[in-house]
Chain A
Amino acid sequence: MSTQRRRPAALLPVVLLLAAAAAAQAPPPGPAGPPPPKPRVFVDWPGGDLAALQAEAPFVEFVADLASANVLLAVAPAGPAASGAFTLAFTGKGPFQGDDNVLPFAPDPGATPGEAARGLAGAVKLGLLRYAAKTPVAADLAVTFLDQAKPTSVNDKWDFWVFSLSANTFLNGETQYRSGSYYASVSADRVTPALKIQTRAYGNWNDNWFDLGGGAVYESATHGYGGSALVVKSLSDHWSAGGFLEAESSTFSNLRLSLTAAPALEYDLFPYSESTRRQLRLLYRVGLTRARYYEETVYLRTAQTLLQESLDIAYKVVRPWGKAEARVKGSHFFHDFSKNRLEIEADLEFRIWRGLSFQIEGGYSRIRDLLSLSAEGATLEEILLRQRQLATGHSYSFSVGFNFSFGSTRSNVVNPRFGNGGRSFHMGM
């Protein structure tokens, strides 16, 4: 008991130590006062062509007097005088305190004086953007890249292969209840625009312990293992071909081991390059599976070989009004066409009018293909703890939500006092 009491007290020095470490490397001092409408720039460039700079950067105000400026730009020749090279030193003042930068500039050796001046003005413009970004002018600026560069134009000694090992545990308990989950995986991926290779192997284990009172205890454990490999070759802007290899073992599904090989073909109605805005993908797949079961199934099998085909249609669109996703998937086995499944899923986030938005998400499955269902059935505890696949002809989930906000919804005030209520984080596995 006494050791338990000491433990929380021991946390305090740790907290203070961490805080002190953070305070030692405090961030730069914050801006003093509200942002000005435009950065006011004083240029220190004896004999320089100020007019060219003014024409190139109309989003700042060039001032003649040092005292009223909040950005100082010193343009100084660098290297031999004939080279035309300059050093641009930017120094922030007042609201831009601490925003300093030095940019080197040297013109093309064969450049005409006009080209060199334009190049210098271009460098000044880029250097001034960080200040403009902190003023209301930012709303009227657009930065664009004039080219399309391949994402693979990099010097990469690993040739785009990425390997990953990960492990996670989650343990939870109180006096009459304990549970543990463990998860581990390894993966090796190589993703380029022309070819996508993703392989991984995983295992998960779960256990539960209940003290039912009067000396009675209920304990249970479940586990699953598996692996998968996906290879996709890009054929064109709309077509892809590839295949899946999968292995799975699961106590929930009564699968001792299933091995699947499935070639597949995909067509995207929209070019793949628009995928973050919209996609409508049709994926057709034929899979050959060899399955062995832990317990005899309701169809009196302990092992079988199965051929299955499936069509998966996925639609996704992200627009200023919101987001919509929909998916329809149908599959059947060839040895008995009545062993089939149809799944429908949809997700819609929709801003109807200013502060009023709706969210609807749902799915329905018509299930006629539970070939691995154990003939033995499940105990009461296995049902309540959802440790077994149960016989069913359908499953559904549906959620709907709305939010209506009005008032000063454009207020940007941050007030962290007494906490901001609610914190979330995600742990990927």
Chain B
Amino acid sequence: MKKPSGAAPVLAVLSFLGLFLPSPARPQDRPDIDELKKTALKVFLDCDYCDLEYIKTEITFVNYVRDRLEAQVHVLISTQATGGGGTEYTLTLIGQNDCRDIQDVQTYYSVKTDTRDDVRRGLVKALKLGLMSFVARTPIACRIAVDYAPPERPIEVRDRWRSWVFSLSGDGWFSGEKSYSRRMLNGSFSANRVTPGSKLRLGLFADRKKERYEFENGAGGTDTFTGVSSSWDASGTWVKSLGDHWSAGVFLEAESSFYRNIDLSLRIAPAVEYDFFPYSQSTRRQLRALYTLSLNPISYREETAFGKLRETLLKEELSLTLELREKFGTISLNAEGSNYLHDLGRYRIDTFGSLSLRLYKGLSVSFFGGYTWYHDSQLSLRLRQPTYEELLLRLVELPMNSNYFVSVGFEFQFGSIFTNVINPRFGSPRRGGMSFRFF
């Protein structure tokens, strides 16, 4: 029932085209547009970062559906950072049902200085052009106009910065009420040079957080507790491309962290990476294995549980990362193992995974979680016991054997498959949600 034979719909389209295509010449014969809209292309937009309401109000010659299997074209939009600090949007248009013989890939680049209006307009334009191959098969095609306005003279592109991009940022957050206040400040500077042959990233980052709580003590007065933590980090990465699958480079880092009891840590770490897929497919799939060997002199803020104030550590680390962006969803898995060379018994294994899958019509599940086994690898732990407040506010690192977080969610939707309508009246109710960012 859901699988049309293939030839029949094409014939139906053919007869429609025959009826309506040359209509502009005779406006009195113009077909009823609302009838044409009923046979318009069914599109499933698969994009996490797009302004979907805007797209739906700008592109009205297609019908948007909620479920990917209903669509004639699945538009899978994946993103990657560009060397200039912008974003590469890869629009993979996958024909389905009676359009399964068409496939196309369009690309749109936003630049770092674009506002969200610039980005949504650019994306709509790329999407319109990409959809035309499909729309041309539907009767509504007769009502689409294409204008071409060639520029007076070509714009000359010359890069006097030789691919260098610099960026300076600062942020502050302040919040509070009568008996509670919080203040966070951070600043960063980066200088990057990214070319297909090599990648150089230099960065500086510093942050400071202060929380203040007021509570009544037993004696009828008021006590105040103030928690302060801060950290800074300077880092550099240089990577040389060695063919479609191999890369080699070096990490340099200097950092300080209150939470982790680190006064100053320096790290120099040569590394080599192998991608099982060619790097050119990275927007859709990557399986990267990265091996790092680091030399790390550290001085601590307070004496550690091992009685050290400073030491030099040699550590090796292997990390395996899988990233897949497919029609059925997104998969991201990462496993890392590291050990100290002075004592092979001190090692750490870290796993992380996130899956977001559209399993069947209307049914989707999401999962993310991580598990870390420490195996006596927390060498920077403080010797002293944390205070009660440091414990509750989680201001200092605590000894642990393992640490985990896991989240599972599912959603089942049924009913109307169309999502064309935008109705902004009375606003939209706030949907709960959580955003996470991992580095």
Contacts and interface: CB of A to CB of B under 8 A. Distances in A.
B48 A108 contact: no
A1 to B, nearest CB: 9
A108 B133 contact: no
B117 interface: yes
Given A140-B151, A141-B129, A161-B416, A198 B429 contact: yes
Contacts of B140: 149
A156 B426 contact: no
Given A106-B15, A119-B22, A351 B113 contact: yes
B38 A155 contact: yes
A421 interface: yes
A397 interface: yes
A163 B111 CA distance: 39
17 contacts: A22-B324, A101-B102, A108-B29, A112-B25, A119-B21, A137-B148, A139-B151, A142-B125, A162-B413, A171-B407, A213-B385, A230-B429, A232-B423, A275-B424, A409-B112, A415-B194, A415-B199
Interface string B21-48: 1111110010001111110100000001
**Residue among A99, A111, A140 with the most chain B CB within 10 A?**
A111
B373 interface: yes
Interface string B310-338: 00000000001110101000111101010
A308 interface: no
Interface stretch (A247-255, A288-296, A314-322, A334-342): A314-322
A140 B426 contact: no
A169 B406 CA distance: 8
Interface in B81-128: 81-86, 88, 92, 101-107, 109, 111-113, 115-118, 125-126, 128
Given A129-B146, A161-B415, A418 B118 contact: no
A401 B86 contact: no
A392 B177 contact: yes
A62 interface: no
A425 to B, nearest CB: 6
A173 B405 CA distance: 6
A47 interface: no
Interface residues of A, number: 177
Given A123-B141, A166-B411, A151 B178 contact: no
Contact of B136 (A127, A272, A403): A127
Interface in A326-372: 349, 351, 354-355, 357
Given A130-B106, A405-B112, A193 B423 contact: yes
Contacts, number: 552
A422 interface: yes
Given A130-B130, A318-B116, A412-B84, A427 B409 contact: yes
B109 A412 contact: yes
Contacts of B287: 15, 19
B219 interface: no
Given A418-B247, A418-B273, A106 B143 contact: no
Contacts of A2: none
Contacts of B409: 166-169, 427, 429
Contacts of A4: 373, 402
A276 B146 contact: no
Contact of A129 (B60, B132, B163): B132
B195 interface: yes
A397 B163 contact: no
